[in-house]
Amino acid sequence: MYELIKLRHELHKNPELSGNENKTEERLKSFLSRYKPHKLYSNIAGVGMAVVYKGKETGPTVLIRCEMDAVPITEQNDIEYKSHTHGISHACGHDGHMAIVSGLAVRFFNQPLEKGKVILLYQPAEENGTGAKASIEKLKALELVPDFAIALHNLPKYKMGSVILGKYTFTAASKGIIIKLKGRNSHAAFPELGLNPAAATVELIQHLLSLTTNYKYKSFVLVTLIHVKIGEVAFGTSPDSAVIMATLRAFYDSDMQLLSNNALKISRDIAIKHGLAIETEYTNVFPALVCDPKLTKVVEQIALDQNREIIYLEEPNRWSEDFTYFTSLCPTILFGLGSGENQPDLHSPNYDFPDDLIKDGIDILDAISRKLTSF
């Protein structure tokens, strides 16, 4: 375990943002070269890798994904391996995920698979939502389409090594909506000669925030206002433009569709009322991640076999995951691995993936891989 902990600390010290994981890839390649995968494919979604280990006999192909990117958060931990890059840190624990998946490479080298094939996918750009789609396209081109896709995510506030499962939605759907209003400039002394979108912006914000209560949805929905801009900082002008950005969130894709439609209708109605032109677009779109029921049962049984506490979520996690795109490719599951009840929250400046969790992650993913490749 020493070398895996050392690897995690190196990755932790040198975090890189989505799409820029170049040094991360180099460190991982150097480590993996010692454990002789049957194939190592580079240029997956940019700087990602697909590392293949084959069994002695033919069988199903299992994909295990880890994320490579860090987040734009300044670390506040006082640790020897603290981030060397100001404003960037592995506050989501992806350094730990990479160490776990690299530990699988060690395990498969020392204890080869009996059947099938495992693809260890080191995926860049999870945080900005672009990595999974691009990875899938590259895997298809390489004819590396799996029969099953598996990922885990460390979850603080749960017992160390416990397994957290959804029934069966694990993470919410989300999307960003960008609304652009266009009026007409005038001198600030004569605002009546222009068409200032300020009043419409205020009205629109109020209506967007009331969308969650003014309509009927099946379950949880949320609108979070993230950015508003009206004109430029020029005190002699009455502005002609405004931009409103919000994140829409829902546990069900059907609710997300209804919430999106309502947001568009309200925006257009208010723009028309105020005589403004309007443009709308969506970004960072994630469907809800619905896990395969049969895979959920497999993970549950393995957790029982390993005497792990199993926790079923009362409701899905509010955050979203680009791993959801793998559900269109094959049966898929993302499950949580508890990282300790007293750990800081993910994406907090004090979060540090616990080294003790690396072995837990290796053990459960190894067992899942061998079970599924034996089918």
Residues 316, 205, single domain; the answer is: no
Same structural domain for residues 126 and 213? no
Biggest alpha carbon–alpha carbon distance for the chain: 81
Q: Where is 254: in which H helix or E strand?
A: helix 253-273
d(CA 363, CA 4): 14
Beta-carbon contacts of residue 149 (< 8 Å; ≥ 6 apart) = 62, 63, 65, 323, 326, 329, 330, 331, 332, 333
Same domain, 109 and 6: yes
- Exposure pattern of 25-59 as b/e (b: 16+ CB <10 Å)? bebbeebbeebebeebbeebbbbbbbbbbbbeeeb
51 & 197 share domain: no
Q: Are residues 192 and 278 in the same domain?
A: yes
Residue 60 has pLDDT above 90, yes or no: yes
274 lies in the same domain as 357: no
Query: In the listed set 286, 310, 334, which residue is the last one of a domain according to the structure?
Result: 286
Indicate whether 234 pLDDT > 90: yes
Of the candidates 327, 10, 306, 335, which has an alpha carbon nearest to the alpha carbon of residue 154?
A: 335
Residue 151 and residue 35 share a domain: yes
Q: Write the CATH number for 72.
A: 3.40.630.10
- Per-residue model confidence (pLDDT) at position 314: 94
Q: List the domain range (segments joined by +) for residue 278.
A: 173-286
DSSP string, 284-347: EEE--EEPPHHHHHHHHHHHHHTT--EEE-SS-BSS--GGGGGGGTS-EEEEEEE--TTSPPTT
pLDDT category of residue 283 using cuts at 50, 70 and 90: very high
pLDDT at 340 > cutoff 90: yes
pLDDT in tens, 285-312: 999 999 999 999 999 999 999 999 999 9
Would you say residue 61 has pLDDT above 90?
Answer: yes
pLDDT at 107 over 90: yes
Q: pLDDT at residue 106 above 90?
A: yes
Domain finish residue from 252, 269, 286:
286
- Residue 164 and residue 177 in one domain: no
Does one domain contain both 26 and 143?
A: yes
- Domain count within the chain: 2
Percentage of residues in the chain with pLDDT exceeding 70? Answer: 100
CA atoms within 13 A on the CB side of 357: 28
Which residue has tokens 């779109």?
285
Shared domain for 35 and 132, answered yes or no, is yes
Cut 0.75: pTM above it: yes
Residues 358-367: tens digit of each pLDDT:
999 999 999 9
pLDDT of 214 reads 87
Edge-to-edge strand order for the sheet containing 221-230? 221-230, 241-250, 173-182, 277-286
Contact 170, 293 (CB under 8 A): no
pLDDT at 218: 95
The candidate with the shortest Cα–Cα distance to 330, out of 191, 66, 139, is 139
Paired tokens of 319: 């955050």
| Whether the predicted pLDDT of 222 surpasses 90 | yes
Task: Kindly state whether residues 329 and 363 are assigned to the same domain.
Answer: yes
Q: Are residues 22 and 76 in the same domain?
A: yes
- What is the average pLDDT score of the chain? 97
pLDDT at 80 over 90: yes
Of 223, 253, 286, the residue that ends a domain is 286
